[in-house]
Structure 1
Amino acid sequence: MDIDSLVAIDVHTHVHKSVNAPQAKPEDNEHLAAMAAYFKTAAASFTVDDLAAYYRDRNMAAVTFTIDQREAPEDPSRATPMEIIERARDQHADILIPFGSVDPNRGAEAVKLAKSQIEAGAKGFKFHPSSQAFMPNDRLAYPVYEVIQEAGLPALFHTGQTGAGAGTRGGGGIRLAYSNPMHLDDVAVDFPDMPIILAHPSFPWQEEALSVATHKPLVYIDLSGWSPKYFAPILVQYANTLLKDKMLFGTDFPVLTPERWMSDLEKTAIRDEVKPGIFKANAARLLGLAK
């Protein structure tokens, strides 16, 4: 990967569809349709090959993943974490940075899966506490974190409200409280050498996220899932000052595109001098792609 030539590193993108999936309309998928309605955009699903081509055309690298859920119904059309890791490793190493994913509720199996994903080339791990139904500071998850910390890899956690299940009956059974970023303060204490990325502006817990990231040296914030024009003033303030080296560009693609995110950033008070760090330099250091 030629880091110097890249325009940016998007640290938060999703692969929803297996390369072997039959052709289908994204709007026919209830989960994708609900997400599209929440973000007021068209339903879209990408294979890892589709996503690589999209970002290669834009000269941007992308961290990408899917989310492992123990209780999710079997769906052969959905990409697995291992498919994403292996395909990114073998065909798209110039542009994709694959993250693994394991549901801590799998217990000992989760540890085995994490180890196999690391051996296959995972560069980090994605957790979605609300969708996976676990508290990030539950000791249930600690054996998985031990594996990740030992490998020297980062862990990215969804925080705040989620579009998953939004507007569906009972919110699709998803409980928002699992994704309060303050739970990750305990994780940062107990795993001080594991970089933690708090995904998204953490509505309604923005100040909690800023507090944890300010206090704990290896806690970062990715700015995905929101148009920058909706960022809270305090988030912009910290991006310009105390946390300028810890803010990361992310879109939550395909629900937001890099073009829209970057265009909307120009409508904010984030200073020009901190933008190179947000777009690329901070992520390159965190991911071990640059010193």
Structure 2
Amino acid sequence: MNISNLVAIDIHTHAEVSCRCAPDDFGKAFDEAAEKYFKFSHRPTIPETIAYYRERQLGLVMFTVDAEFETGRRRIPNEEIAEAALENRDMMIAFASIDPHKGKMGLREARRLIEDYQVGGFKFHPTVQGFFPNDPMAYPLYELIAEYKLPAIFHSGHSGIGTGMPGGGGLRLKYSNPIHLDDVAADFPDMPIIIAHPSWPWQDEALSVCLHKPNVYIDLSGWSPKYFPPQLVQYANTRLQHKMLFGSDFPLITPERWMEDYEQAGFRPELKPLIFKENAARVLRLDTRA
């Protein structure tokens, strides 16, 4: 990334529509429930999202979520996102998503994506993927990520995916309690861990893990800042000011709305460069990337 030309780095954006694969209607009920929960309807293609961010001079980290094991729904190819990032490397980084249930085949894919496609990190969604982050099943994948010292983002807290569906769509919230990441952070100190979202109803657990483990960060995506729990803003203003990252959860929340509401959320003015760009640049090791 050419970070000097960017207003901010959004570390949490979703690839919503593939230009290579037809939509998988098998999971359409999840889409409809999410659209109702988040009050949105337009799902942009990957090129549309990139154009949107380029027009606003925003950097972005983009990923899909591989939940094929738990949901039976085809994912967007990691390669499609990674190739888009290589074509827009001045303002975009791709994270890969590989379901830990895929075992050795997942490990082979992960190494290939790192070495051949230069992905900059990995995305996990324990609720949608159906696993506890500290399950030993996932440890071989973490070992590979740590080998390259790449970061991993983990969804935390409540999930809008499945909300309102019968039985929550079969998804279980317990997997996304951030306290389970304490084991992962202790066992993989060379893997930067990003706890995604205000972690309601487990915000204090997330803050504790982030405070205790040097390799843990929090991204502030998925909520308008005006609804942030007060303790999250308190710690962002004080002891965790170097560990908070701007993220929107686009297209569920636009970066414009997030940044506008940020100004009214009680953050100290001098923290804006850290939260908007500098902390992310450090986690993503942008000074060491080609």
TM-score range normalised by the length of the shorter chain: over 0.9
Partners of 2:23 and 2:191 in 1: CA distance: 39
Q: Secondary structure at the match of 2:101?
A: helix
Identify if the C-alpha distance between structure 1 residues 52 and 160 changes in structure 2 by more than 3 Å, giving closer, same or farther. same
Partners of 1:32 and 1:18 in 2: CA distance: 15
Q: In 2, are the aligned partners of 1:47 and 1:79 still within 8 Å (CA)?
A: no
Q: Does 1:143 align with 2:140?
A: yes
Partners of 2:72 and 2:184 in 1: CA distance: 29
Q: Does 1:83 align with 2:80?
A: yes
Q: Residue in 2 aligned with 1:265?
A: 262
TM superposition shift of 1:22 = 5.7
Q: Residue in 1 aligned with 2:32?
A: 33
Partners of 1:277 and 1:153 in 2: CA distance: 20
Q: Residue in 1 aligned with 2:120?
A: 123
Query: What is the TM-score with the length of structure 2 in the denominator?
Result: 0.94
Q: Residue in 2 aligned with 1:12?
A: 12
Gap regions ≥5 residues in structure 1: none
Q: Deviations over 1:11-63 (max 9, x none)?
A: 00000211135699x9x943232212112x22222222111101000100000
Q: Residue in 1 aligned with 2:90?
A: 94
Query: What is the TM-score with the length of structure 1 in the denominator?
Result: 0.94
Identify if the C-alpha distance between structure 1 residues 177 and 22 changes in structure 2 by more than 3 Å, giving closer, same or farther. closer
Q: Does 1:73 align with 2:72?
A: yes
Give the letter aligned to residue 73 of structure 1. G
Q: Deviating runs (4+, > 6 A) in structure 1?
A: none
Partners of 1:17 and 1:43 in 2: CA distance: 13
Q: Does 1:114 align with 2:110?
A: yes
Q: Deviations over 1:180-201 (max 9, x none)?
A: 0000000000001100000000
Partners of 1:74 and 1:215 in 2: CA distance: 37
Q: Secondary structure at the match of 1:182?
A: helix
Q: In 2, are the aligned partners of 1:13 and 1:253 still within 8 Å (CA)?
A: yes
Q: Deviations over 1:69-113 (max 9, x none)?
A: 2324354xx521121112221x22122110001101111112111
Once the two structures are superposed, the pairs formed by residues 241-256 of structure 1 within 5 Å of their partners are: 241-256=238-253
Gap regions ≥5 residues in structure 2: none
| Residue of structure 2 aligned with 1:47, choices 38, 45, 48 | 45
Q: Residue in 2 aligned with 1:194?
A: 191
Q: Does 1:61 align with 2:53?
A: no
Q: Does 1:167 align with 2:161?
A: no
Q: Say how many residue pairs are matched.
A: 285
Q: In 2, are the aligned partners of 1:155 and 1:197 still within 8 Å (CA)?
A: yes
Partners of 2:23 and 2:135 in 1: CA distance: 39
Q: Residue in 2 aligned with 1:231?
A: 228
Give the letter aligned to residue 14 of structure 2. H
Percent identical: 55
